[in-house]
């Protein structure tokens, strides 16, 4: 059986010996011992496995998630979807921070007080309206996994991804082709509620979104004639 030492494998795969040793310590790759030699060596099969691990790491999957994947506790597509949802949630959080900074600067330029709850309420509503628009755009495109990343932890627990996709699928099935967005607006009386009306070929759809801070904490889908 032909073996390559760690330096040759690192040069072949564009990685470092420190990285390979770390992965072996974590149990996601293996090496082959060679008598009277302290260097790690790898068989063709082991090198192919390392290539797969490096691809998964390049996609951003954590060592812990790769370990679960190898143990058979999660499927590849599920592991990638979970990481994608986490990444989207991170992007949403950073986008929210940018919007809040812009709103704070706008309030200051207008002579307002960013520490005043009255001024902060209008900022919060505007931020939630922006989040709702992004959520609805993903909903219209059918990117329901990305929509799920906007849910609060409690809503994700109450309605897992599979249940959410099943509910949406059953709801939009009789609507026909999407035509246009009719309206999106904050509730006049309840500051954390936003309504959006979508027009489809056969029926209209009203989406009620309830926010808790910057997360979708409740959602209702109702038909409109």
- Residue 97 has a CB neighbour count (10 Å cut-off) of 12
CATH T-level fold of 4-71: Multidrug-efflux Transporter Regulator; Chain: A; Domain 2 (1.10.1660)
Name the residue among 45, 54, 59 with its Cα closest to residue 10.
54
Given this model, what pLDDT does residue 11 score? 95
- Confidence check: pLDDT of 118 > 60: no
- Residue 67 has a CB neighbour count (10 Å cut-off) of 14
- Residue 147 has a CB neighbour count (10 Å cut-off) of 24
Confidence band for 1, pLDDT divided at 50, 70 and 90: low
Average pLDDT, stretch 10-20? Answer: 95
Break the chain into its structural domains and give their ranges.
4-71, 81-224
Same fold, 4-71 and 81-224: no
Confidence band for 119, pLDDT divided at 50, 70 and 90: low
Phi, psi (deg, nearest 5) at residue 36 = 60, 25
Helix ranges, the chain (H)? 6-13, 17-25, 44-58, 63-71, 76-109, 117-141, 144-148, 153-158, 161-172
pTM reported for the whole predicted model: 0.54
CATH T-level fold of 81-224: Nuclear Transport Factor 2; Chain: A, (3.10.450)
């Amino acid at each position: 059986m032909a073996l390559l030492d760690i330096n040759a494998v690192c040069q072949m795969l564009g990685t470092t010996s420190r990285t390979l040793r770390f992965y072996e310590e974590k149990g996601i790759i293996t090496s082959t011992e060679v008598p009277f030699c302290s260097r790690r060596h790898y068989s063709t099969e082991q090198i192919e496995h390392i290539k797969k691990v490096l691809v998964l790491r390049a996609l951003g999957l954590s060592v812990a998630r790769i370990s679960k994947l190898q143990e058979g506790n999660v499927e590849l597509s599920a592991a990638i979807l979970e990481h994608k949802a986490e990444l989207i949630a991170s992007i949403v959080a950073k986008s929210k921070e940018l919007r809040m900074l812009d709103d704070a600067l706008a309030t200051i330029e207008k002579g307002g007080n960013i520490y005043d709850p009255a001024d902060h309420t209008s900022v919060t509503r505007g931020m939630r309206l922006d989040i709702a628009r992004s959520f609805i755009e993903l909903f219209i495109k059918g990117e329901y996994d990305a929509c799920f990343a906007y849910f609060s932890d409690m809503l994700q627990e109450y309605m897992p991804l599979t249940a959410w996709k099943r509910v949406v699928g059953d709801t939009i099935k009789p609507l026909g082709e999407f035509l246009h967005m009719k309206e999106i607006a904050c509730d006049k009386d309840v500051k954390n509620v936003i309504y959006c009306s979508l027009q489809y070929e056969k029926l209209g759809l009203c989406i009620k979104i309830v926010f808790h801070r910057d997360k979708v904490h409740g959602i209702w889908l109702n038909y409109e004639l």
